[in-house]
Amino acid sequence: MTIVLTPYWSNGVQKLKVAPQPPPRPAHGLTPPALDDSIHVVRSLRQLRSKDKNIEKYIFLSQLKATEPNVFYKLCLEHMSEITPLIYTPTVGDACIQFSHIYRRPEGLYVSINDKGRIGKVLRNWPKIDEARIAVVTDGSRILGLGDLGVNGMPISIGKLSLYIAGAGIRPNSTVPICIDLGTNNKEFLKDPLYLGNRHERVPQDQATAFMEEFMYEMSQVFPHLLIQFEDFSTDKAFEYLSSFRHKYPVFNDDIQGTGAVVLSGFLNAAKLSSAASGRPLSDHKILFLGAGSAGVGVAMQLMSFFTMQGLSEEEARRSIYLVDSQGLIFDARGPMAEHKRVFSRHDYQGPPMTNLVDILNYVKPTALLGLSTIKGAFNKDVIETMSALNPRPIIFPLSNPVRLSECEFSEAVEWSGGRAIFASGSPFQEQPYNGRTLYPGQGNNMYIFPGLGLGAIVARASAVTDGMVVAASLGLANSLTQEEKDLDMVYPRVERIREISADIARSVIRAAQKDGVDRSQDLRIMDDSTLTQFVKSKMWNP
Ligand SMILES: NC(=O)C1=CN([C@@H]2O[C@H](COP(=O)(O)OP(=O)(O)OC[C@H]3O[C@@H](n4cnc5c(N)ncnc54)[C@H](O)[C@@H]3O)[C@@H](O)[C@H]2O)C=CC1
Ligand SMILES: CC(=O)C(=O)O
Ligand SMILES: [Mg+2]
């Protein structure tokens, strides 16, 4: 049987006969006498640190994962804050852009538009079907804020799954990174002789939809125990596929739901700090979003529950949220708009189009400014100073990825707000000294949510991912701050505690699955919370 686990070049000759497996441990005598895994972690770390460029570090770590997975995951777990930015954002963005040039070996599953009509056959080539529990699927159409990267999106599926393994102890063999190739509109890639994907523009949307129908049906047939995470589909497709499939299959969209959950969590903690300084009740917050794509609208929808938790009606919650896109403030009289923006379109604004962000801030007077726009520098000095004039402790969350597309840097937010900003960004920044104190940036990234959400859904054998499970993941994260973290005004926990946090999130997610009646592991219902947490931890894989 031929196994198609490699990108097909346009001439279609590159096919593998065997599945990619880490090589077996060499027999006695074939390795140096003192080779020991824990010392090899130290050795590997030194080798890693000796490299100057992050992309070289990424390549080194990919190689280590393929040859010595135990050493790789030990390194991740022991040095989470150093390794995460190398296997995930920001470096994974560069790895995606350069994927066709730095490609070394097959990893993951590629399904192409040319496989339409026989997708099931391709999926059956996966070597570990019985063990498969979680797939991250992208079509590469919007990778981070980098646009359409076609089949070069594969590293995002791989990177997310490495975090499932490191962050939630999902077994490596149960993860399936998938990139579907429906063409690309990236002109540079189409001209690049090394590009690894189909060399044509994206197929029309009706063909893409028909492909996805077959793909999802076949996934459910071939992998009956699989949870599917949709990742980095461009906004129109992200909303379409989520609403088409979420009631048929266990699937969630990380950019809409995972990001919504992580930002709700950080916002709950940030709003308390901001209200403590201003004396304003929590129900009085007003949030302005720059960016109204899958992430902006996904977060806005989730943040409605922040207001309903404070006792506001749905309509009042909606009125506390303002969206700005590339044409400015979104309001009814502006004219036709995409369906996903309509919910938050302002009925109460009748004036001329408002496009200048500082003007919009002075009109809305928000307590929080959230960026999911991909526009670097959009939160400039004027913007941060305006937010700081409006609020004793403004909430500033530049959430676009990777770091070079962040709406502002942490050092800028600190300086321009006089150290008062409550800050979280999509990609990591260094802590900053300010007036004799150390200020800590939060990382408002869905990486805090999806490992625990996925683990909970897998352990509960959930037949669907419900809104209740997503909110439970968010609240589980919000409640995970230690006293020390609270005393430092942190809005997210330290990433080094990710395993412990994922276990707590997973327990909350299982409880929500039980409440919503989608848990198929019903024997977990009788466990009390501490037994359930222990059970979840016992399911975690350790290197
Ligand atoms: N922190 C996190 O966990 C996550 C961050 N993101 C990031 O969010 C960003 C956006 O993702 P999507 O919503 O899927 O993309 P998208 O491309 O659909 O949305 C971008 C939005 O920004 C708006 N925009 C573009 N230029 C603008 C301008 N000059 N002024 C105001 N608005 C402007 C667009 O109109 C659109 O509404 C990406 O950078 C992505 O990496 C996405 C998911 C998770
Ligand atoms: C973090 C993430 O999912 C994104 O930027 O798309
Ligand atoms: Mg994403």
What SS3 string covers 510-523?
A: HHHHHHCCCECCHH
Instruction: Indicate if ligand 1 lies below 6 Å from the C-beta of 144.
Output: yes
Helices 450-460 + 498-515 axis angle, to 10: 50
Q: What is the pLDDT at residue 542?
A: 95
Question: Can you tell me the distance from the alpha carbon of 254 to that of 461, in angstroms, rounded to the nearest whole number?
Answer: 19
Q: Is 88 in the active site?
A: yes
Active-site pick, 73, 88, 110, 448: 88
**pLDDT band per the 50, 70, 90 thresholds, residue 22:** low
- The neighbouring-strand residues paired with 112 are 181
% the chain with pLDDT above 90: 92
Mean pLDDT along residues 363-378: 98
Express each pLDDT in 144-188 by its tens digit: 999 999 999 999 999 999 999 999 999 999 999 999 999 999 999
% the chain with pLDDT above 70: 96
List, in order, residues 6 or more apart from 436 with CB less than 8 Å away.
none
Nearest CA to ligand 2 atom 3: 255
Instruction: For residue 309, give the nearest of 266, 268, 352, 358 by alpha carbon.
Output: 268
Residue 249 CA from chain centroid, whole number: 20
- What φ, ψ does residue 42 adopt, rounded to 5°? -65, -45
CB atoms within 10 A of CB 425: 25
Ligand nearest to the CA of 426: 1
- What φ, ψ does residue 437 adopt, rounded to 5°? -115, 165
Instruction: For residue 158, give the nearest of 93, 195, 107 by alpha carbon.
Output: 107
Mean pLDDT along residues 291-304: 97
* Alpha-carbon dihedral 193, 194, 198, 200, rounded to 10 degrees: -30
- Taking the alpha carbons of 475, 529, 162, 481 in that order, is the dihedral positive or negative? positive
Instruction: Indicate if ligand 1 lies below 6 Å from the C-beta of 156.
Output: no
List, in order, residues 6 or more apart from 103 with CB less than 8 Å away.
7, 196
Q: How far is CA 377 from CA 422, 443, 494, in A?
A: 18, 18, 26
Q: What is the pLDDT at residue 13?
A: 34
The alpha carbon of 372 and the centre of ligand 1 are apart by a number of angstroms equal to 4
Residue 445 known to bind ligand: yes
Instruction: Indicate if ligand 1 lies below 6 Å from the C-beta of 375.
Output: yes
**pLDDT band per the 50, 70, 90 thresholds, residue 4:** very low
Question: Can you tell me the distance from the alpha carbon of 260 to that of 64, in angstroms, rounded to the nearest whole number?
Answer: 33
**pLDDT band per the 50, 70, 90 thresholds, residue 17:** very low
Nearest CA to ligand 1 atom 18: 293
Cβ–Cβ under 8 Å, residues 120 and 349: no
The alpha carbon of 425 and the centre of ligand 2 are apart by a number of angstroms equal to 11
Express each pLDDT in 99-146 by its tens digit: 999 999 999 999 999 999 999 999 999 999 999 999 999 999 999 999
Sorted by where each starts, the structural domains of the chain and their CATH numbers stand as 37-249 (3.40.50.10380), 257-446 (3.40.50.720), 449-538 (no CATH)
Question: Can you tell me the distance from the alpha carbon of 87 to that of 107, in angstroms, rounded to the nearest whole number?
Answer: 15
- What φ, ψ does residue 442 adopt, rounded to 5°? -90, 155
Instruction: Give yes or no for residue 14 having a pLDDT over 60.
Output: no
Instruction: Give yes or no for residue 7 having a pLDDT over 60.
Output: no
Nearest CA to ligand 1 atom 29: 326
Instruction: Give yes or no for residue 10 having a pLDDT over 70.
Output: no
Ligand nearest to the CA of 294: 1
Instruction: Indicate if ligand 1 lies below 6 Å from the C-beta of 403.
Output: no
The alpha carbon of 144 and the centre of ligand 1 are apart by a number of angstroms equal to 9
Active-site pick, 160, 237, 241, 448: 160
Tell how strand 227-230 and strand 134-138 pair up: parallel
**pLDDT band per the 50, 70, 90 thresholds, residue 6:** very low
Residue with tokens 């007077």: 365
Instruction: Give yes or no for residue 498 having a pLDDT over 50.
Output: yes
Q: What is the pLDDT at residue 31?
A: 86
Nearest CA to ligand 2 atom 4: 144
Instruction: Give yes or no for residue 316 having a pLDDT over 90.
Output: yes
Express each pLDDT in 531-541 by its tens digit: 999 999 999 99
Ligand 1 pocket mutation pick from 289, 303, 325 by most atoms within 8 angstroms of CB: 325
Residue with tokens 């991909």: 374
Residue 186 known to bind ligand: no
pTM of the model: 0.95
Q: How far is CA 177 from CA 99, 134, 153, 502, in A?
A: 15, 9, 11, 20
Assembly ipTM = 0.98
Residue 101 CA from chain centroid, whole number: 25
**pLDDT band per the 50, 70, 90 thresholds, residue 35:** confident
Question: Can you tell me the distance from the alpha carbon of 169 to that of 502, in angstroms, rounded to the nearest whole number?
Answer: 9
The alpha carbon of 401 and the centre of ligand 3 are apart by a number of angstroms equal to 9
Residue 446 known to bind ligand: no
Q: What is the pLDDT at residue 25?
A: 75
Stretch (H or E) spanning 385: helix 381-390
Residue 382 known to bind ligand: no
Q: Mean pLDDT over all residues of the chain? A: 94
The alpha carbon of 299 and the centre of ligand 3 are apart by a number of angstroms equal to 13
**pLDDT band per the 50, 70, 90 thresholds, residue 28:** confident
Q: What is the pLDDT at residue 346?
A: 96
Residue 253 known to bind ligand: no
